[in-house]
Structure 1
Amino acid sequence: MYKFKNSKNPTYQFSVFLVLLVGLFMSSCTDNTTGGELGSAPTSEDVTFTSEPDAENPNIIHFTNTSDGFKALWDFGNGATAEGDEVVGEFPLKGDYTVTLTIFTKSGHAKNSKTVTIEETNELMLDDPDLNMLTGGADNPDGKTWVIDSTQLGHLGVGPGPNADDGGTYSPDWYVAAPNEKVGKGLYDDEYTFKLDGFSYEQQTNGDIYVNAGYPDEFDGAVQEEGGNDYIAPFEGGSNFNFVLKEEEGKKILETTGGGHIGYYSGSRTYEILALSENELYIRSLDDDGSDAWYQRLIPKGYEHPPEILPYDSEELVDNFDEEGNISWATDQITNFNESYDDPAPLVADTTNKVAKYAKGEGKFENVYVDLGYELNLNERSIIRLRAYLPSYNDYDTVDPNAEPWAPGNLLKQVEVKLHNVNGETGLGGNSWQTQETVIKQVSETGTWVDLEFDFSGVSDREDFDRIIIQIGGEGHGRQGIFFIDDFELTSAN
């Protein structure tokens, strides 16, 4: 601490104080890091580094920063990065790599690059099972091309992320895409190719991509999809992207760099690999705050799932929505199907008090269904019975101006049960409507429970039905309505 001992004159003391203060200020304006005084940012000439091949493996290069600064960031030109003054880069494949060092000083930052030439490919460094599965391995210089597994249930999904408020199970609990549900959205005709050479990544889009509703501003000209919340955006893709395959905290991470992404764009280019095999790439990405998790399943281009051979069988199906039945209901487009809803009009003779609420939204083809897991033997059981309640407060008259030309366009007072051939060796997947069998029951009374029976004995010679569908209110229009069903059963005619 400075002490004023030589004078009791306040003016003298103050003058000495000013001299000291100015001296301290001047010394603080001089900086020892590259760039000299504050305000003089470093240039590329200030950024220097050396590179030295490893003594035992020339495909491993040791890099040393020889410039001043408090942070050194490296881009090895092969999709990998590092931080530090002494780092190691691995280059399994022969070729020229542009290695860039970025130096940060108190005055700013600058970068400089060098070309590192790798003379020969070291195949031993590439003998990684995951890398081989993703790219096709060293024997496949053209790489391996993946596409969305569009024909399978669950090729897209949404669930709670690790930071979700509801404490979800971190799985696609909220939404599972039906087969071919996103036709025409700019997704199913896209291709994603991973190559070992330079760890390059090619995204072929055919001009457009499917984008989450939170991120259309990242793409000029994005247009909201008809009847949905997401967007279809122009994007040409490219062949000059890269990828990184790494492990973080015990998780396999796949990251695309340079602007490319995989499939449905949900704001992230970092994907956790949940499954990777010869014919499957199953990935998960998170939104910005980690509350939502997005799932995608891909297959190699040209791969066809082997046909599933289903048994020819029949069993009695029952669900009264009070007790646990033997049916697992699934939904197609419908957003609100509640299997445990208070009966809106309980009868004295009715010993149950829970029903299923079926809320039709703006989708044109909403329904609920059950996949049997076998091809239905209609010779044993061909009768479907259920109770239905169509409230009088629904608007059954207004016509949807955007209805399909073949549809009446208004909410219909009817319940329709369909049998489809979806899975199995001859299954038609998303085109199963082409060979469907359907029975429609008109409901003349609203505001009361009615008993309905659907008889399929007339097609008992068919041995390919594996899905039962219930559709209420008609299809081909976007008129909304609320309905209720109860006491569903598949049984014999006796």
Structure 2
Amino acid sequence: MKRYTAYLATLLLMTFVWSGCEVDDPELAEAPSAEMVSFTTTPTTTNANIINFESTSPGFKSVWDFGDGATAEGTKVSHGYPVKGNYTVKLTIYTSGGSATGSKTVTIANTNPSMLNREDYNFLTGGANQLEGKTWVIDKNSPGHLGIGPIGGTTPEWYTAAPNEKASEGYYDDEMTFVLGNTLSYTYKNNGNTFANGDNAPGIGGTKGADQTVNYTPPTNLTWSISEEGDKKFLIISNGGFIGYYTGVSKYEILSLTENEMYLRSGSAAVAEHAWYQKLVRKGYAPPKPVKEYKAVDIADNFDTPGTFTWKFENIGFNENFDNPAQLPSNTSDKVGRYVRQAGQANEFGNANIQFTHNLDLTKRHVFKVKVFVPSYNDYTTMGGAEDWSPVKTLQKQLSVKLQNSELGGNAYTTQAEVIQQVTQLDQWVELTFDFSAHASRKDFDKIVVQFGGEAHFNPGIFYLDDFRLMP
């Protein structure tokens, strides 16, 4: 009976608690209105061109747009205006009910020359005494003058343009001129067309799809400004203006800026995870080309012990510590490399490669050897798709070794040296020889590419390799 009474009491308590939870949802907080947005503007006592802003609005967050491209967050903020003019300052407040924006005009009566005499301003424009300003162009002869990487990254790890790679895109004749004066003016001369990112091209009259050259007339009366956000600086173009390659944004992080060179990173209006990089140089300036060291080195990896280099992989699966699938007298190694060619067009040029920081001296040593195991279970007959121009439509029983000049980026294949060896003995280890004696006098190779199964087709396959080495 006591157990029953306790059970009943517990049940009644649970019912009470559950009933207590069944209350009407509280009404959402009222959305703020523009009339609720208010803020004060007070010039500093020592410099009338520096304004102190304070939000007198409700809410838990205040975001400022200072009217010259710069932004900030906080209840109390300061911003400097070196050039006279009228600036529309916007404050957006956030409350539990939503957000609202209000604005007012800040008038700067006079230009403050001392605020213009900055190293970054002088590098960008040539200084106040260079009345015509400074003109910048894309550094077309430099590897990576255009690149893309993840928005949170620090390098264009996904793609870097080779020298002069975009010569047909209306990109290299663009001129960007910055002037330092009573107006921080910016002129973009594109000679009638602009190279645009395919996702953002509709913003200047293009069509969504692949990157394209768009007939486009830039607006006039553009201005520039530089804002500081923490330890970062941003170059901002007014009224939707932009620099060079169009990605739908007007704000560029300054990664480096000198008298002759500028390196910028920007986002993409259409694809939030993309970061684009551009290298520019002062018009008429030819950057000195760095000279790579030229030397002979040992090149070897047996996958049982550490090799003399680090493998890199492009659109393949690769295991550098795979159990030998056939531990035969022809190869008794415990570990080998497992190379998995992926299906699909995106993987048609997949490979393993070795990138050196120097150029390879092959004058005395120019023969490579490698052991390979080509399984019979791969499908070597089905045509799983290929490029129309490709003579190869199926997976190939072969290994290709290529020597390339990585500075040519996507055009490295145009000057490469390639040796292809067919494999006729399947399901066993075979040693292949790749003799580059015909190219031993070349001094521009800094990359070795290893590619199983052919290229320009979309068929998958699994292969194994071991004891890759440059012979003594």
Pairwise TM-score range, normalised by the shorter structure: 0.5 to 0.7
Shift of 1:384: 0.6
What secondary structure is seen at the aligned counterpart in 1 of 2:289?
A: coil
- Are residues 1:133 and 2:123 paired? yes
- Are residues 1:281 and 2:271 paired? no
What letter is aligned with 1:246? S
Q: Which residue of 2 aligns with 1:359?
A: 341
Q: Which residue of 2 aligns with 1:453?
A: 433
- Are residues 1:316 and 2:303 paired? no
Q: Deviations over 1:361-383 (max 9, x none)?
A: 52454433333444433332011
Aligned 8 A contact 1:238 1:260 in 2: yes
| 1:251 aligned residue (223, 232, 248) | 232
Aligned residues: 425
What letter is aligned with 1:405? W
Q: Which residue of 2 aligns with 1:210?
A: 197
Q: Which residue of 1 aligns with 2:452?
A: 472
Shift of 1:444: 1.9
- Are residues 1:436 and 2:416 paired? yes
- Are residues 1:147 and 2:147 paired? no
**1:377-392 to 2 correspondence within 5 Å?**
377-392=361-376
In structure 1, stretches of 5+ residues that fail to align are 1-37, 162-169, 226-230
**1:231-242 to 2 correspondence within 5 Å?**
236=216, 238-239=218-219
| 1:489 aligned residue (452, 469, 472) | 469
- Are residues 1:79 and 2:69 paired? yes
Shift of 1:385: 1.0
Shift of 1:210: 1.8
What secondary structure is seen at the aligned counterpart in 1 of 2:197?
A: strand
Shift of 1:452: 0.8
CA 133–340 in structure 1, closer or farther in 2 if over 3 Å, else same: farther
- Are residues 1:417 and 2:408 paired? no
CA 246–321 in structure 1, closer or farther in 2 if over 3 Å, else same: farther
Q: Deviations over 1:400-451 (max 9, x none)?
A: 665152533333222122223455xxxx665443443221111223444321
Q: Which residue of 2 aligns with 1:299?
A: 280
| 2:315 aligned residue (335, 357, 382) | 335
CA 296–355 in structure 1, closer or farther in 2 if over 3 Å, else same: same
Shift of 1:318: 0.6
What letter is aligned with 2:419? V
Q: Which residue of 1 aligns with 2:308?
A: 326
Aligned 8 A contact 1:387 1:452 in 2: yes
Separation in 2, partners of 1:178, 1:472: 26
CA 91–439 in structure 1, closer or farther in 2 if over 3 Å, else same: same
Separation in 2, partners of 1:153, 1:236: 25
- Are residues 1:223 and 2:208 paired? yes
What secondary structure is seen at the aligned counterpart in 2 of 1:223?
A: coil
Normalising by the residue count of structure 1, what TM-score does the alignment of the two structures yield? 0.65
- Deviation larger for 469-478 or 72-81: 72-81
Separation in 1, partners of 2:353, 2:419: 15
Aligned 8 A contact 2:161 2:409 in 1: no
Shift of 1:301: 5.7
CA 50–287 in structure 1, closer or farther in 2 if over 3 Å, else same: closer
RMSD: 5.1
Q: Deviations over 1:312-346 (max 9, x none)?
A: 42122111233221123344xx3235252524623
Separation in 1, partners of 2:78, 2:453: 65
Aligned 8 A contact 2:386 2:392 in 1: no
CA 377–111 in structure 1, closer or farther in 2 if over 3 Å, else same: closer
What letter is aligned with 1:351? S
Q: Deviations over 1:210-230 (max 9, x none)?
A: 256xx79978864344xxxxx
What letter is aligned with 1:300? V
What letter is aligned with 1:156? G
Separation in 1, partners of 2:325, 2:352: 22
Q: Percent identity?
A: 30
Normalising by the residue count of structure 2, what TM-score does the alignment of the two structures yield? 0.67
CA 392–103 in structure 1, closer or farther in 2 if over 3 Å, else same: closer
CA 452–81 in structure 1, closer or farther in 2 if over 3 Å, else same: closer
Separation in 2, partners of 1:133, 1:379: 45
Separation in 2, partners of 1:277, 1:238: 26
CA 101–418 in structure 1, closer or farther in 2 if over 3 Å, else same: closer
